[in-house]
Amino acid sequence: MKQIVIIGGGFAGINVAQQLARNPAYSIIIVDRNNYNFFPPLLYQVATSFLEPSNISYPFRKLIRPFKNVSYRMGEFQELITAENKVVLSTGTLQYDYIIFATGAETNYFGMENLKNNALPMKTVNDALLLRNHFLQVMEAATVTTDVAERTKLLTFMVAGGGPTGVEVSGMLAEMRRTILPLDYPEVSGKNYEAHIYLVDGGTSLLKPMSEKSQKDTYNELTRMGVEVLLNHRVKDYADDVVTFTNGKSIATKTLVWAAGVSASVLPGIPTACYGAGRRLIANEFHQVKDLTNVYAIGDTSIASGDPAFPDGHPQVAQVAIQQGINVGKNFKALAAGKPLQPFRYHDKGTLAIIGRNKAVADFPRPKLHLNGFIAWWIWIFVHLMSLINYRNRLRTFYNWAGAYLTKDQSLRMIIRPKKKTN
């Protein structure tokens, strides 16, 4: 059996493993720093207390239990030694016949250290839990302070980045302000002081990859919900509870959610010539990394060439990662059977973004169609439920969503702060 090591158990990596599960030609090892797979598009609902982490996560070891040729190793990638077909992890070393990098992307602060130290990212379950605690803690602090300026700062929430994550977070905060704040925090509801939800972006529109109709619908709906959308506002700094923009303006806030950019990670042992834009590994149409014969890259960490419809590479979205994982898995099956490999061609199934209760936008390329409002919202609900990794997660998430929809409320707003034991 040839040994395949998969670095990263997200959308891309897990789909490779599922394709090759029970295949007698290969032994698969999934390597990940976490012992669970999670669903990034719903992290914002964990951050805003509408879902528990277990709703969108599932342990790798339980997931792979039925497959004798698939195993899991907890660890972080440290170095690739291509001359020896060896990968060094924080928990030891592994030999490989083939290695697949599916490490995803990390938050990009564009070199701004104050942002890195003070802003709140949302790329991992840990980030979402930290953000949930932060949201609840600033609300509790706002109920007891007598300083109006301080209370305004506590109740001013800023989200940087006008992509789907930024739109979804700001929309959810607006819904919470309308339905939950008067019930849970009567001390700060309806008072005569300023409180704001800002969504800021350095460009001229929200949801740049989507159609103009979706961009306009989203802007209008968020504005109607009370979100203050600031376009052409690029964040320059965030220090001493003040966000400063390149145009000279500034806003005081205790909360800056950073959803304004991602980049891939530099992987020690891989030559500099293998990297393209955004530090993504340059791969061919069969997902092989440039100049490296048995090294593959898929998902957000790669920029694949050879697809005529996407000459500059594919968007860093879940569907690309899923389809690339499936394709590379099928190609390994073909390789074992002596059949020709299939080049990757991305099939764009459309783009969705939720704004709030009964509000979403959807664009479909074939046929070219734009939807908004309730029907787009239902499509978003269905697609995200079916994209969860198993029926358990789907049922628990649906139960939570149904309860929140019927009651306009949720009972998951708990501040949980684990502490390390000290001797």
| pLDDT > 80? residue 190 | no
Q: How far, CA to CA in Å, does 45 sit from each of 129, 155, 297?
A: 10, 19, 29
Residue 394, C-beta contacts closer than 8 angstroms, at least 6 positions apart: 385, 386, 388
Residue 293, C-beta contacts closer than 8 angstroms, at least 6 positions apart: none
- Average pLDDT, stretch 2-30? 97
- Average pLDDT, stretch 30-52? 95
CA end-to-end span of the chain, whole Å? 47
d(CA 422, CA 420): 6
pLDDT band at 192 (very low <50, low <70, confident <90, very high): low
| pLDDT > 90? residue 422 | no
- Residue scoring higher pLDDT (190 or 382): 382
For residue 76, the tally of other CB atoms under 10 A from its CB is: 12
Handedness of CA 52, 70, 25, 90 (dihedral sign): positive
> Same topology for domains 2-105+264-337 and 113-260, yes or no?
yes
- Average pLDDT, stretch 147-155? 93
User: What CATH class is the domain 113-260?
Assistant: alpha beta
The two structure tokens encoding residue 333: 């099956």
Q: Is 168 a catalytic residue?
A: yes
Are 323 and 314 in contact by the 8 Å Cβ rule? The answer is no
Least trusted range by pLDDT, from 8-17, 112-121, 411-420:
411-420
Are 282 and 290 in contact by the 8 Å Cβ rule? The answer is yes
For residue 350, the tally of other CB atoms under 10 A from its CB is: 15
Active-site pick, 168, 187, 221, 228: 168
pLDDT in tens, 65-118: 999 999 999 999 999 999 999 999 999 999 999 999 999 999 999 989 999 999
| pLDDT > 90? residue 137 | yes
d(CA 251, CA 170): 16
What pLDDT is stored for residue 398 in this prediction? 93
What pLDDT is stored for residue 416 in this prediction? 87
pLDDT in tens, 159-171: 999 999 999 999 9
The two structure tokens encoding residue 349: 């199934």
- Average pLDDT, stretch 258-264? 91
Closest CA to 238 of 264, 200, 211, 272: 200
What pLDDT is stored for residue 233 in this prediction? 97
What pLDDT is stored for residue 25 in this prediction? 97
Closest CA to 11 of 106, 124, 102, 127: 102
Q: How far, CA to CA in Å, does 379 sit from each of 163, 383, 390, 397?
A: 19, 6, 19, 15
The two structure tokens encoding residue 180: 């939950």
Strands (E), 19-95: 26-32, 36-38, 57-59, 70-74, 77-81, 86-89, 92-95
The two structure tokens encoding residue 177: 């302000």
Fold of 2-105+264-337: FAD/NAD(P)-binding domain (3.50.50)
pLDDT in tens, 385-414: 999 988 899 999 999 999 988 888 888 889
Mean pLDDT, the chain, rounded, equals: 94
- What residue segments make up the domains of the chain, in order of their start? 2-105+264-337, 113-260
pLDDT in tens, 299-317: 999 999 999 999 889 999 9
Are 125 and 43 in contact by the 8 Å Cβ rule? The answer is yes
What pLDDT is stored for residue 195 in this prediction? 85
Report the predicted TM-score, pTM, of the whole model to 2 decimal places: 0.93
